[in-house]
Amino acid sequence: MNQRENRYQAPRTPIEAVPAGPLSRSAARVFVAWLLGASLVRGAALAFQIGYALAAFGAEKHLAGLLAASVLRTGAAQVAASACSVALAWETHHGLGAQRPLWRTYALLPFTAPVAAGLMIAVGVGATTFGYGATPCASWQSIRAFATPGDALFGLVQASALAIVLGGLAVLLGPWLSALRAGLLARIVVALLATGLITGAVQAALVVFLSAGDDVGVP
């Protein structure tokens, strides 16, 4: 009798297991895909913009170095922050936000920004090699000339500050985000817009803070 009753029961929808990591499996795939895709697209766009400007002065060989300095300082942290926000939008849309603290998503930011930087710099080197005929050795020399440890340190500080600010907002707005009735695309658009505004504000605050520190140190 029990076997006959079980035959007519509705099939159960499998529920995704919740691992101990900061992201669910599906959100982790979305995060990695966005990080890789955005890094390549953003790197190509920056290479085109910088290369177009340098071509007017015949200085295309410096493209990789200038791109590396920009990426290490600000670009990589912005891409990593956008990937975290897209993953958060995915989790809240699929009801996974209540199963794990949302701030964990942004804990990945300082660790994945260097990955984004490496991909974007690789695109810059490729654009310099195939678009302007510069050798990889010349690109490496340009990177060493223009990109400084201070750029990498500023980028790491910015990524850490973004992780704290965005993670704090995720804690405050977590219940509202989980209960929000909106499609996935709308969530992603709102998340990217908010992340862009917050990233710009954090970057401006860091620049003002460091400038004030330099002014204090001047006798």
Residue 154 is predicted with a pLDDT of 93
Q: Is residue 155 part of a domain?
A: yes
Residue 9 has pLDDT above 60, yes or no: no
Q: Is residue 200 part of a domain?
A: yes
Q: Is residue 165 part of a domain?
A: yes
- What is d(CA 61, CA 87) in angstroms, rounded to the nearest whole number? 37
Q: Work out the average pLDDT over 85-98.
A: 80
Q: Which helix (H) or strand (E) holds 104?
A: helix 103-106
Q: Is residue 163 part of a domain?
A: yes
Q: Is residue 1 part of a domain?
A: no
Q: Is residue 35 part of a domain?
A: yes
Domain that holds residue 200: 24-217
Identify the CA nearest to 142 among candidates 54, 67, 70, 72.
Answer: 67
Encode pLDDT of 183-193 as tens digits: 888 889 988 99
Q: Is residue 12 part of a domain?
A: no
Residue 50 has pLDDT above 80, yes or no: yes
Residue 78 is predicted with a pLDDT of 94
- What is d(CA 88, CA 113) in angstroms, rounded to the nearest whole number? 17
Residue 22 is predicted with a pLDDT of 64
Q: Is residue 84 part of a domain?
A: yes
Q: In total, how many domains does the chain have?
A: 1
